[in-house]
Amino acid sequence: MGGPVLNGPFTMPMVRPFVPRRLQPWIYVFMAVSFQLSGGLYLGTLNEMMGETTLMREDLLMCLYANLAGMAIYFPLLFRMKFRFTNKTLLAAAATGVLACNLAVPHISSLPLLWAVCFVEGICKIQGTFECMSNIQLWMTPKRDFTVFFPMLHIIILGSMQVSDLVATHLMYYYHWSYMHWFIAGIMMLDLLFVTLCLRHFRIVKKFPLLGIDWLGALLWSLLLLEVAYFFDYGNYYDWWNSPVICRLACAIALTLAACIGRMLHVRHPFFEPKMWGYKNLFPVLFLIMLVEMFLATEHSMEEVFYEEVMHYEALVSVRLDWLALAGILSGCLFAYWWMHIRRFSYLRLIAVGIAVLAGYLLGFYFTLSTDIHISQLYLPVVCRGFAYAVLSATFMVCLEEIMTFQHFFQALSVFNMLHMVVGGVMGSAIYTEALSHYMTDNIARYGAAVDRVATSGSSPFVLGEYIEGFIARMMEVSIKQIYGWIIYACLLLFLLFLLYDTPIRRELKLMPGWRALRRDAEKEMGKSPSQHKSRTQVE
């Protein structure tokens, strides 16, 4: 997905000639990383933001989910925007949007406005990333092979997540949490400088108008996704069904879903077409990615509770594990590339490998968690987590591309990322938070009965405060282990199911069509004759 030259050396005609040719794609890689480093808020700064502002943890996490929702919902519009605007216009708009949002977030106190800004930032983030990666795809894989592209893409996406957390934590620790926003704003200014000076307006195909886009449908699906995220994020805070807020929200979710489905079935060009849902094996892929995200939600719920409440790690101590996660992600993406592209083994077997390593991560934490451990004992489980996440993310995306036609691929990719980035994680965190509350109450009631006058008597003076602090930490440790145990059972069951299921190995993979073919398909979908608009390369 890049320059117009499909046969011959890779070129980037949108870049001005004075930029060295070998350097051009690497600059786009840098810009893609810079977009992926950005966000509305940053996980590494949550604790300091909670201490400095009046916002709760649920409020800040909702900002994160709004940012991810903006990314997920925008996928069906990416190609329409590419056919309407030039690469320079889209990159400039995306960088400007990220810059403005990062400068605005530290000064916003209204929660709805903060969520809206984070949502817009997510749209700008995915638009900038797509524009960078789509123009260097032929440089990465001249045959448009997604078994090459997706593993390499996930090195950038997943690796940038870890680097962003590392940078945000260090800037927060040594300076202030708002410095991360200033840092991203500075990088976006560098991107804008390059776009302004080094790019020109270039079109691969003739400008295609933004006709037939279901904007109201996009708004309804966005609202549904945000309602679901709010439901699970604030469910424990409102005490679930004991709160009228949650009951009313559940009714609103049902009504919004009905409106989305009704519009999808009755408009000519819905945001998600009904045909998209009818592809074979689509629902198993969607269900599996949501299940895997629920397993991996332990990272931001159980692990962080253990680091903060049991081990009392400072931010700079626990963030050291991000380096190990980064190593796992890099090795996982390269392993997926070797398995799918070099060896061309079965995708299902690769998914089974990923689930097996995921089970290894869960088992590693289950048998390691203790107040007596050194942080180095957590290195191997964290590497396994990064490896499994990279392998499964890249493989599921390749599987999705293989079962879909390109006409509906980006619509399915939007639904995929709704479950992948938002629903799976927020559901998993809600379940684990509720389970931790239940097991903590139960364990304190069970083991607290052993604290009596006989147990506390002795020659040495008994300090109740120190004893209770250690007792609560032990109960937290036991409760976390119990939750990990149940997750391990579910993960091993899923692994056994994959071992029992097999499918023929595909040797020939689908190729992505060229830009002109995609534009002709879009014209046909809009009811126009392709002869009315001849595709041609044009410089504005």
Segment 201-220, tens digit of pLDDT: 888 777 878 888 899 999 99
Return the pLDDT at 123.
96
179-184's contacts with Cβ under 8 Å and 24+ in sequence apart are 180/42, 180/44, 180/45, 181/102, 181/103, 181/105, 181/106, 182/102, 184/34, 184/37, 184/38, 184/39, 184/98, 184/99, 184/102
Question: Which pTM was predicted?
Answer: 0.89
pLDDT at 486 over 70: yes
**CB within 8 A of 401, min separation 6: which ones?**
146, 150, 409, 510
pLDDT digits (tens, 9 = 90+) for 338-383: 999 999 888 888 999 999 999 999 999 999 988 888 889 999 999 9
Assign domain 1-211+510-540 to its CATH superfamily. MFS general substrate transporter like domains (1.20.1250.20)
Average of per-residue pLDDT across 276-285? 90
pLDDT confidence of residue 256? 97
pLDDT of 77 reads 93
Report which of residues 275 and 4 the model is more confident about. 275
Q: What residues contact 182, with CB distance under 8 A and at least 6 apart? A: 102
Name the one residue in this structure whose structure tokens are 């493989």. 395
Across residues 71-84, what is the average pLDDT?
91
For residue 300, pLDDT over 90 is answered with: no
pLDDT reported for residue 64 = 94
Confidence check: pLDDT of 506 > 60 = no
The string of pLDDT tens digits covering residues 392-442 is: 999 999 999 888 888 888 999 999 999 999 999 999 999 999 999 999 988
Over residues 266-273, the mean pLDDT reads 91
The pLDDT, as a whole number, for residue 540 is: 37
Tens of pLDDT, residues 158-192: 999 999 999 999 999 999 999 999 999 999 999 99
Query: Percentage of residues in the chain with pLDDT exceeding 70?
Result: 88
Which of 233-242, 435-444, 467-476 comes out lowest in average pLDDT? 467-476
- Of 355, 383, 362, residue with least CA distance to 484: 362
Task: Say whether pLDDT at 384 is over 70.
Answer: yes
- Dihedral angle over CA of 34, 58, 328, 498, nearest 10: -120
Cα 210 to chain centroid, rounded: 27
**CA dist., res. 306 & res. 304, Å (int):** 5
The H-or-E segment that residue 67 falls in is helix 57-73
Could you read off the pLDDT of 326-336 as tens digits, one per residue? Answer: 999 999 999 99
CA separation for the pair 276, 273 (Å, rounded) = 5
Contact 7, 142 (CB under 8 A): no
Instruction: Grade residue 451 by pLDDT with cuts at 50, 70 and 90.
Output: low
Output the CA–CA distances (angstroms, integers) from residue 333 to 152, 315, 329, 394, 508, in the order listed: 7, 28, 6, 7, 21
Q: What string of DSSP letters covers 287-299?
A: HHHHHHHHHHGGG
d(CA 391, CA 172): 31
By three-state DSSP, how is residue 441 classified? helix
501 against 249, higher pLDDT: 249
Average pLDDT of the residues in 310-323: 88
198 falls in which pLDDT band (50, 70, 90)? very high
Domain 279-448+464-506 sits in CATH at 1.20.1250.20
The answer to whether the beta carbons of residues 307 and 442 sit under 8 Å apart is no
% of the chain with per-residue pLDDT over 90: 63
What digits encode the pLDDT tens for the residues 401-411? 888 888 888 99
